């Protein structure tokens, strides 16, 4: 189930699904260790002798507070005559999740309402060796294993704390957990449980007819008992309501540091622009600086792996979006992350955990008995490209100097040397979709852009010899792309060629939306006839002609494919990033305001694909538009931000141009 709410301070991240189940809890490295592993931690209600977990019977609306990382949720149960208003946030500084629940009694009599909070932790991503216990001194419930502690507590407006509690066994010999114990409205009070455990706590409130009652609930995260105990005391001293208010204001202030002229964009587009900035910031790890692709853990059910990694490509493009929007800190920290993790050979690996360790990979180090680099070379190239753009925006020479020898020089030397001596093209690597190996038009365009960026960065530090060498290598790559990856017979670029020991290389004629990279990174202008013919062929073949529209990745894409559809009309699922690439193509080619209309419609299409809370997925079902794969995907949000900025900039220029003609 896609995530509807992401709350984070860069060290603690929690995520909820549409039924307000807490599904993900990352601490202290984002994406690296999910202490819930996607298992639902439920919220339940008992009133008038009836019990229900929040589920499909509840009518729920999930939003964020405007321009803030504070959730605003309303949910009602008509049969129970109850309405809940929930505000929730991860404190902007402390590793603390805080929730306020306002219970509205819609009945005609005074009633007691009990709220039940269930917790299903898998600390360090395993149910083995956990402990749950009630602490009578703190009057709180704790879960711990080794150096990870999670304290649960709450307080009603009248000053009453936890009413009842239970700890118990789950996932063992048929035991389901304490959430079953809660369904009669009472908890047994078992004070401690070891091993594979869960817990539930309840709070008791009373509200007269038409009146309301308020509960504050929190989870403190730490590495020691003392740390969470101190956080618990800090909450009690500073009042949870105040903590929610200051967190909401913090994020509004963070956004407002930059003023954006979003000329021509609708109010809905503007709101998604700011929501996207916050979603990207929420996925930016404040320990080491990695930017995580997605905190949505449900993808685990599809592939037994997840998106909670730092892909250098995704991170570079998100850092680029943050830079272009004027937010330097998360981008700067990402480049510092890359500086620390790049290999001595000069390339970045497939992906990383946010603690800097190598992530899981399916790219082999040997193929057919021959050694090979298990890389997507665009990931190395794009980091240099984004760093160059970052410098042009912020003039942060200290960062460039600190990253030059350990990142820029290493990566540029690798890219300049990792080329075919005959053609001048980059040697084979894996494509950006992580599925096939060869010499790719997209990757070659990023290598050209990365080498040019390295040359510019070298000149900043007086390294003119380096700059000359990398400019020359980049020029050779560009010439080779135009000669070897363009097919005059077809009148368009090829996605990929694969060198063979003898004879001409094998050619892949599959149309792929990643040909966008040829103009996006500047190898050719968008209006170059070769580029226009190539991308027009992409649009004609990859536009989804049934259902919701949008642009597919490439012909006959099988990732999360919807079976039984005509590949002539549905070549693949529409992806948010690919559809926005098409918008960027229209923006780059626009010579009048009228020419911008197709891009505007594609921005509208993207807004329509977002959840009510503003979460963008990776891809959507071609007929229904429901999210597929992960949601959110930071790459989708970053691409929306970049496209919105490009649109507004082009709209301003064309408006001034048309005024000048009058």
Is the pLDDT at 299 greater than 80? The verdict is: no
54 by Cβ neighbours in 10 Å (0-12 / 13-18 / 19+) ranks as buried
pLDDT at 302 over 60: no
Cα 152 from Cα 287, distance rounded (Å): 24
User: Which token pair is 564?
Assistant: 């039984």
Res. 304: pLDDT tops 60: no
Q: How far is CA 29 from CA 126, 310, 597, in A?
A: 17, 11, 42
Question: Using alpha carbons only, what angle is made at residue 347 by residues 346 and 351, rounded to the nearest 5 degrees?
Answer: 145
Kindly give, in sequence order, each residue whose CB lies less than 8 Å from that of residue 444, ignoring residues fewer than 6 positions away. Answer: 425, 426, 477, 480, 481, 485, 523
Q: d(Cα 637, Cα 616) in Å, to the nearest integer?
A: 6
With a CB cutoff of 8 Å and minimum separation 6, the contacts of 239 are none
* 600-638 CB burial, b ≥16 within 10 A, e <16: bebbebbbebbbebbbbbbbbbbeebebbbbbbbbbbbb
Cβ–Cβ under 8 Å, residues 204 and 124: no
DSSP 571: S
Q: What's the token pair of residue 267?
A: 């109010």
Closest among 582, 588, 618 to 524, alpha carbons compared? 588
Is the distance from CB of 132 to CB of 193 less than 8 angstroms?
A: yes
Average pLDDT over the chain reads 96
Q: Is the peptide bond before 28 cis (omega within 30 degrees of 0)?
A: yes
Of 10-19, 129-138, 291-300, 624-633, least confident by mean pLDDT is 291-300
Asked if the model's pLDDT at residue 235 lies above 80, the reply is yes
85-88 contacts at long range (C-beta below 8 A, 24 or more positions apart)? 86/20, 87/244, 88/5, 88/7, 88/16
Question: What's the token pair of residue 569?
Answer: 């009309």
Q: Please state whether beta strands 96-105 and 192-195 pair in parallel, antiparallel, or not at all (unpaired).
A: unpaired
Is residue 637 predicted with pLDDT exceeding 60?
Answer: yes
Token representation of residue 203: 């709070």
Q: Is residue 13 very low, low, confident or very high in pLDDT (cuts 50, 70, 90)?
A: very high
Residue 354 pLDDT: 97
Residue 502 clears pLDDT 90, i.e. is over it: no
| Lookup: tokens for 155 | 């307080």
Instruction: Give me the mean pLDDT over the 39-57 stretch.
Output: 95
Run of H or E residues at 304: none
556-568: pLDDT as tens digits: 999 999 999 999 9
d(CA 27, CA 502): 53
Q: Is the peptide bond prior to 36 cis by the omega test (within 30 degrees of 0)? A: no
> What mean pLDDT is predicted for residues 144-172?
96
- In the structure, what pLDDT confidence band is assigned to residue 268 with cuts at 50, 70 and 90? very high
Interatomic CA distance for residues 133 and 567, integer angstroms? 56
Confidence (pLDDT) at 300: 56
Query: What are the tokens at 561?
Result: 């494919």
pLDDT at 305 over 80: no
Mean pLDDT within 318-335: 98
Q: Is the pLDDT of residue 10 over 90?
A: yes
Question: Which of 228-232, 301-305, 523-527 is least confident?
Answer: 301-305
Answer for the pair 115, 85: CB distance below 8 angstroms, yes or no: no
**pLDDT band of 306, cuts 50, 70, 90:** confident
- Name all domains of the chain by residue range, CATH numbers in brackets: 5-254 (2.70.98.10)
Sheet containing strand 59-64, strands side by side: 59-64, 71-77, 82-90, 96-105, 212-222, 148-156, 140-145, 130-135, 192-195
User: What span, in angstroms and rounded, lies between the C-alpha atoms of 16 and 6?
Assistant: 7
- pLDDT band at residue 507 using 50, 70 and 90 as cut-offs: very high
pLDDT at 301: 55
Each residue of 23-38: pLDDT tens digit? Answer: 999 999 999 899 999 9
Find the mean pLDDT for residues 580-597: 97
DSSP codes joined into one string, 230-274: HHHHHHHHH-HHHHHHHHHHHHHHHHHTS----TT--HHHHHHHH
Place of tokens 């809905």: 268
| pLDDT single digits (tens) 335-366 | 999 999 999 999 999 999 999 999 999 999 99
pLDDT tens digits along 81-115: 999 999 999 999 999 999 999 999 999 999 999 99
pLDDT tens-digit profile of 392-434?
999 999 999 999 999 999 999 999 999 999 999 999 999 999 9
**pLDDT recorded at residue 1:** 63
List Cβ neighbours of 2 (8 Å cut-off, separation of 6 or more): 17, 18, 296, 298, 611, 615, 617, 627, 630, 631
Reported as type and span, the H/E element at residue 146 is none
Confidence of residue 176 (pLDDT cuts 50, 70, 90): confident
Which candidate, 10, 47, 59, 46, places its Cα nearest to that of 118?
A: 46
The pLDDT of residue 244 is 98
């Amino acid at each position: 189930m896609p995530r509807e709410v992401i709350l984070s301070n860069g060290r603690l991240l929690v995520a909820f699904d549409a039924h307000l189940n807490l599904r993900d809890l990352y601490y202290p490295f984002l994406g690296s260790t999910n202490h819930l592993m996607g298992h639902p931690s439920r919220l339940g209600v008992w009133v008038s002798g009836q019990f229900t977990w929040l589920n499909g019977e509840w009518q729920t609306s999930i939003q964020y507070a405007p321009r803030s990382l504070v959730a605003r949720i309303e949910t009602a149960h008509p049969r129970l005559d109850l309405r809940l208003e929930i505000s929730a946030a991860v404190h902007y500084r402390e590793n603390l999740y805080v929730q306020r629940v306002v219970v509205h009694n819609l009945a005609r009599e005074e009633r007691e309402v009990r709220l039940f909070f269930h917790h299903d932790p898998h600390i360090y991503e395993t149910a083995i060796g956990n402990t749950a216990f009630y602490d009578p001194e703190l009057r709180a419930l704790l879960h711990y294993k080794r150096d990870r502690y999670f304290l649960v507590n709450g307080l009603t407006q009248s000053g009453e704390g936890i009413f009842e509690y239970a700890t118990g066994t789950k996932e063992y010999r048929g035991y389901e957990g304490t959430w079953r114990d809660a369904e009669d409205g009472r908890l047994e009070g078992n004070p401690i449980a070891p091993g594979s455990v869960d817990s539930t706590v309840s709070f008791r409130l009373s509200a007269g007819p038409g009146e309301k009652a308020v509960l504050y609930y929190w989870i403190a995260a730490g590495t020691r008992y003392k740390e969470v105990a101190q956080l618990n005391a800090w909450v009690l001293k500073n009042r949870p309501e105040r903590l929610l208010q200051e967190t909401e204001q913090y994020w509004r202030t963070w956004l407002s540091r930059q003023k954006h002229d979003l000329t021509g964009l609708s109010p809905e587009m503007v709101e998604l622009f700011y929501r996207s900035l916050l979603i990207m910031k929420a996925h930016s790890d404040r320990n080491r600086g990695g930017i995580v692709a997605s905190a949505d853990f449900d993808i685990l059910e599809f592939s037994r792996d997840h998106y909670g990694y730092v892909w250098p490509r995704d991170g570079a493009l998100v850092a680029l979006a943050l830079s272009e929007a004027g937010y330097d800190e998360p981008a700067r920290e990402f480049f510092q992350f890359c500086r620390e993790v790049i290999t001595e050979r000069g390339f970045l690996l497939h992906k990383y955990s946010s603690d800097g360790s190598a992530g899981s990979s399916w790219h082999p180090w040997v193929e057919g008995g021959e050694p090979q680099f298990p890389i997507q070379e665009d990931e190395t190239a794009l980091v240099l490209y984004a760093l160059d753009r970052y410098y042009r925006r912020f003039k942060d020479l200290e960062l460039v100097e600190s990253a030059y020898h350990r990142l820029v020089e290493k990566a540029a030397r690798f890219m300049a040397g990792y080329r075919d001596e005959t053609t001048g093209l980059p040697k084979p690597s894996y494509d950006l979709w992580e599925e096939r190996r060869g010499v790719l038009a997209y990757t070659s365009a990023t290598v050209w852009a990365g080498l040019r960026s390295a040359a510019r960065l070298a000149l900043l530090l007086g390294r003119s010899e380096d700059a000359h060498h990398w400019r020359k290598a980049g020029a050779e790559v560009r010439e080779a792309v135009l000669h070897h990856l363009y097919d005059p017979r077809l009148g368009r670029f090829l996605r990929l060629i694969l060198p063979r020991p003898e004879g001409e290389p094998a050619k892949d004629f599959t149309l792929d939306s990643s040909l966008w990279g040829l103009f996006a990174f500047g190898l050719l202008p968008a209006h170059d006839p070769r580029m226009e013919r190539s991308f027009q062929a992409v649009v004609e073949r990859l536009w989804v002609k049934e259902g919701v529209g949008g642009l597919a990745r490439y012909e006959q894409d099988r990732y999360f494919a919807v079976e039984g559809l005509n590949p002539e009309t549905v070549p693949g699922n529409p992806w948010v990033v690919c559809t926005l690439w098409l918008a960027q193509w229209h923006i780059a080619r626009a010579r009048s305001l009228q020419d911008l209309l197709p891009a505007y419609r594609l921005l509208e299409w993207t807004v329509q694909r977002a959840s009510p809370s503003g979460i963008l997925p990776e891809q959507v079902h071609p007929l229904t538009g429901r999210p597929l794969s992960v949601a959110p995907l930071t790459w989708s949000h970053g691409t929306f931000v970049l496209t919105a900025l490009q649109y507004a900039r082009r709209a301003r220029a064309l408006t001034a141009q048309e005024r000048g003609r009058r």
